[in-house]
Amino acid sequence: MGQWQRAVVVGLALVACTVQTPEGNSFGGPAPSGPGSTAGSTGGSAGTAATDAAGGSTAGTMGGTAVADSTGSGDGPGQTTSSCEGAPGSTALGGLCSEGCDCASGECFAIALGAACSECISDVQCMAGGGPGTCSVDPATDPTYATCTQGELGVMCQPGSGGCQAGLLCAQLIDTNGLIPDYFCSACATSADCPAGQICSPVLELSGGLSGGYLQCVAPGSLANGDLCPLLPDGTGDGSVCSSMRCAVTDVGGLNIADIGVCSPCATNVDCGPGQSCLPAVLDSDGAVPAMCG
Per residue, what are the HEC states of 231-279? ECCCCCECHHHECCCCEEEEEHHHCCCCEEEEECCCCCHHHCCCCCCEE
Query: Looking at 39-48, 109-118, 138-147, 148-157, which range is the least confident one?
Result: 39-48
Confidence of residue 220 (pLDDT cuts 50, 70, 90): very high
- Determine the Cα–Cα distance for residues 277 and 153; give it in Å rounded to an integer: 39
Strand partners, 103: 91
Write out the residue range of the structural domain in which residue 183 sits: 3-293
pLDDT at 24: 35
pLDDT at 291: 97
Across 123-127, average pLDDT: 94
pLDDT at 95: 92
Across 219-223, average pLDDT: 96
Burial of 230: CB neighbours in 10 Å, binned 0-12, 13-18, 19+: buried
Beta pairing class for 199-207 and 210-218? antiparallel
Other Cβ atoms less than 10 A from the Cβ of 176: the count is 27
pLDDT at 180: 73
- Determine the Cα–Cα distance for residues 177 and 259; give it in Å rounded to an integer: 12
**Of 231, 270, 269, the residue nearest 247 (C-alpha):** 231
Q: Rounded to 10 degrees, what is the CA torsion of 95, 98, 101, 107?
A: 60
Question: 293, 264 in Cβ contact below 8 A?
Answer: no
pLDDT at 34: 40
Confidence of residue 85 (pLDDT cuts 50, 70, 90): confident
Tell me the per-residue pLDDT of 155-201, one tens digit each, with 9 for 90 and over.
999 999 999 999 999 999 888 777 777 889 999 999 999 999 999 98
Across 50-71, average pLDDT: 32
Other Cβ atoms less than 10 A from the Cβ of 54: the count is 11
Cα atoms in the Cβ-side hemisphere of radius 13 Å centred on 58:
30
Other Cβ atoms less than 10 A from the Cβ of 19: the count is 25
What mean pLDDT, rounded, does the chain reach? Answer: 74
Q: How many domains does the chain have?
A: 1
Amino acid at 183: Y
Confidence of residue 123 (pLDDT cuts 50, 70, 90): very high
Q: Is residue 114 scored above 90 in pLDDT?
A: no
pLDDT over 90 for what percent of the chain?
A: 45
**Of 105, 102, 132, the residue nearest 121 (C-alpha):** 105
pLDDT at 111: 61
Question: 81, 121 in Cβ contact below 8 A?
Answer: yes
Q: Is residue 32 scored above 90 in pLDDT?
A: no
Q: What pTM did the predictor assign?
A: 0.72
- Determine the Cα–Cα distance for residues 98 and 78; give it in Å rounded to an integer: 16
Q: Is residue 51 scored above 60 in pLDDT?
A: no
pLDDT at 17: 34
Q: Is 104 left (phi over 0), alpha (psi -120 to 50) or beta?
A: alpha
